[in-house]
Structure 1
Amino acid sequence: MSTCSESTQTVPNTSLPVIDYNLLVQKDSTELNKLFNVCKQLGFFYLKLDNQLDPARIFTLAEKVFELPLDTKNEYAMDGKNGVYFGYKAEGSMYADKKGTPDTIQFWNISKDEIFIQEKTKFPQVILDAKNIVQEYMTKSHGIVIVILQILSMKLGLDAETLPNLHRFMQPSGDQLRLTKSTMYPVQTQDKSDVAFGAHTDFGSVTILFNRLGGLQVLAANGEWFNVKPLSGHAIVNLGDAMVKLTGGIMRSNIHRVVTPPGLNEIVDRYSIVYFSRPENDVPMKSLLSGEKDEQTDEQVFTAQAWIARRVKNFQTENYKNEETYEKSRGTENNRESNVST
């Protein structure tokens, strides 16, 4: 029995700050300040939504996608070892800890570019049949991201369109919709780690997440994990490393992981729906703010496309070499707690 079970199951439940999306749209000064502060301090929050974004039909799509035979899904396998992050990822193709333990989550990354710009048809029929639903969900998700980026731009003393202009929807980027599934087992019955997806930060700009079961844990400022429960009518939103880079470390990209939901007493499939917004492919990954520290010299600055490819490669089990590989995979190039073990 893995000792990981004990450590993941005894962490406290902590409510994230709640940001009201309607108040953001109305430019309520208290809510704008609240958003800016949580993005600097924790980098995670609940976003209260009314009818702006409903993931129900995407959850249904996820169930259908993962019911496909494994051979069929593998026909669309992503080429992660070479930095390509779109398509199907099978269980075990990434690793969950510094020892190289394979993860236990499968996901399908649907590229925004392939759906809207390139209009590719290399998808299973179940996704092609739901193309309009996927397009609508991506469009609405990105609209929410833009509102957040406009506010952060203003609060950083930039023009309101500075960050949005690096995330234009119809420009090539790493934006994607992710469908995920992991089969969760009660901790007392399993003989392996209950960490489905290891400690990491996201490497994009803004992430919008829905799940129905729980299992997400976030690292607090004191170095302790806490559980983040799903909240009806709310998305879970967090910032990624791109925002850390673009703001010279002012914004916070926080470490998180996926574990067996506390108190689980039966075998259950856990699905989640994630929209990742990332900078356009040719955006240089360096601070937009004068006087803020960059960790790389100008000669070493990556474009967003190259930076994402580097991170993807470092996540892959096939590319795992040692604990240094693990550290490179986890991100947060500013303010990163350096020795989380799982």
Structure 2
Amino acid sequence: MFDGVVLPIIDYNRLTQQDSLEASKLFHASTNVGFFYLKVNDELDPTPMFALAEKVFTLPLDTKNEYAMDGKNGVYFGYKPVGSMFADRKGTPDTIEFWNISKDDIVIHNSNNFPQVILDKKTTLHKYINKSHEIILVILEILSSKLELDPQLLPRLHRITQSSGDQLRLTKSTICPIDGQSSVGIALGAHTDFGSITILFNRLPGLQVLGPDGEWLYVEPLSGHAIVNLGDAMVILSGGILKSNIHRVVNTSGVTEPTDRYSIVYFSRPENDVRMKSLVDNGKNNQDDSDALTAQEWIARRVKNYQTANYKNEETYELSRGTEGSREGSM
């Protein structure tokens, strides 16, 4: 599965050229690791997004809080301050702040409900979101074919012009040296993503993926490559054939003093009215449409389960962790 800390490397250009070997590598990574590097080079350049993130998080806290997301009630767009989510089963607050920018607000509604620093970059945001989504549709078409479905079935559930939980996330955390400490400091707790496909860029280490033997493996940034992973929605839609994997963000021995760490993430999720059930025959009986949550309902439930304000006990923590690759019953 894993080769040390090195994830499989998939070449996006070869995928667009319908290279059968590259498509098979993609499907193998998606059914085993659930994570891979995607070689994109100049196809998707996160540099403008990193510049925007640095400006966004220098805004006064009072200004940022004017746009705070209502996570307690399942709303996942807007600003998330440090400590509003928990990082472990004890309910320890996280140490990450992020800003979730709704794809719908940029692409569909052309919303102006943003601080000026974001409004000034709406054209750039639109371009970045469009390209990220284009890449994801290529991946979804290949996965749909490999699952022996209509090649356009998964893409049709992720149309950019339809309302969904898709978002661009700007993330900031401060990582500290771990030399001399007895354990790493966890900035964002172990979890699986609850979307379909995640495209991540970071410039500093700190991301860890859970290996096959239960060890935490660092996933280092690789120039010209995005880190891509599947989320729990793909586990459900594929009847467990595709895999999401547990990951977390921690302090790292790669820094000698406290350092700001920025990440740029695009999350693709099924359209709001998609019923969260298997699309393939995997030896399981599908639940009736009337029993399956819509993607919008399912996302809201997952968001609520992450919030410090909703933490009650260790069971709350278990509910926040996701399918962990196969545990559909604990979403």
TM-score in same-fold range (> 0.5): yes
Partner deviation per Cα, 1:114-148 (whole Å, 9 max, x = no partner): 11212211100000000001000000000000000
The letter for the 1-side match of 2:263 is S
CA shift digits 1:150-204 (9 cap, x unpaired): 0001111011100000000000000000000001111248799610000000000
Structure 2 unaligned segments of length 5 or more: list them. Answer: none
> Partner residue of 1:89?
80
- Matched residue SS, 2:88: coil
Per the alignment, residue 178 of structure 1 pairs with 169
Give secondary structure in 2 for the equivalent of 1:163: helix
Q: Tell me if the contact between 1:205 and 1:241 (Cα under 8 Å) persists in the aligned partners.
A: yes
CA contact (8 A) 2:235 2:326 kept: no
Which residue of 152, 166, 181 corresponds with 1:161? 152
Cα deviation digits, residues 207-247 of structure 1 (max 9, x gap): 00000001000011222110000000000000000000000
1:119 to 1:95, Cα distance in 2 relative to 1, 3 A? same
Could you say which residue in structure 2 is the equivalent of 1:24? 15
Deviation at 1:332, TM superposition (A): 1.3
Could you say which residue in structure 1 is the equivalent of 2:295?
A: 304
Cα displacement string for residues 241-282 of structure 1 (whole angstroms, at most 9, x for unaligned residues): 000000000000000000012332111000000000000000
Structure 1 residue 108 corresponds to structure 2 residue 99? yes
Which residue matches 1:237? 228
Note if 1:98 corresponds to 2:105.
Answer: no
TM-score by length of 2: 0.95
4+ aligned runs moved over 6 Å, structure 1: 189-193
Match of 1:69 among 56, 60, 63: 60
Q: CA deviation at 1:52?
A: 0.7
Counterpart for residue 7 of structure 1 = none
2:202 aligns with 211
- Given that 1:245 and 1:285 are in contact with CA atoms closer than 8 Å, whether structure 2 keeps it comes out as yes
Q: Which amino acid aligns with 1:68?
A: L
Residue 211 of structure 2 corresponds to residue 220 of structure 1: yes
Residues 1-342 of structure 1: pairs in structure 2 closer than 5 A: 14-188=5-179, 194-293=185-284, 298-332=289-323, 334-336=325-327
Q: State TM-score, norm by structure 1.
A: 0.92
Task: Report the alpha carbon displacement of residue 300 of structure 1 after superposing the two structures with TM.
Answer: 3.1
Backbone CA RMSD of aligned residues: 1.9
Q: 1:71 to 1:192 in 2, by over 3 A?
A: farther
Q: Which moved more, 1:83-92 or 1:299-308?
A: 299-308
Compared CA separation, residues 59 and 178, structure 1 to 2 (3 A): same
Alpha-carbon distance between aligned partners in 2 of 1:13 and 1:72, rounded to the nearest angstrom: 43
Q: Equivalents in 2 of 1:298, 1:262: separation in Å?
A: 49
> CA separation in 1, counterparts of 2:266 and 2:122?
15
Q: Hey, what's the Cα distance between the residues in 1 that align with 2:26 and 2:184?
A: 35
Q: Look up the equivalent residue of 1:281 and give its one-letter code.
A: N
1:2-39 CA distance string (max 9 Å, x none): xxxxxxxxxx9611000000110111111110100110
- Find the aligned partners of 2:7 and 2:325 in 1 and give their Cα distance: 22
Structure 1 residues 292 and 173, CA gap change in structure 2 (3 angstroms): farther
**Aligned with 1:127: secondary structure?**
helix
Q: How many residue pairs were aligned?
A: 327
Question: Does the 8 A contact of 1:244 with 1:250 survive in 2?
Answer: yes
Return the letter of the residue paired with 1:323. E
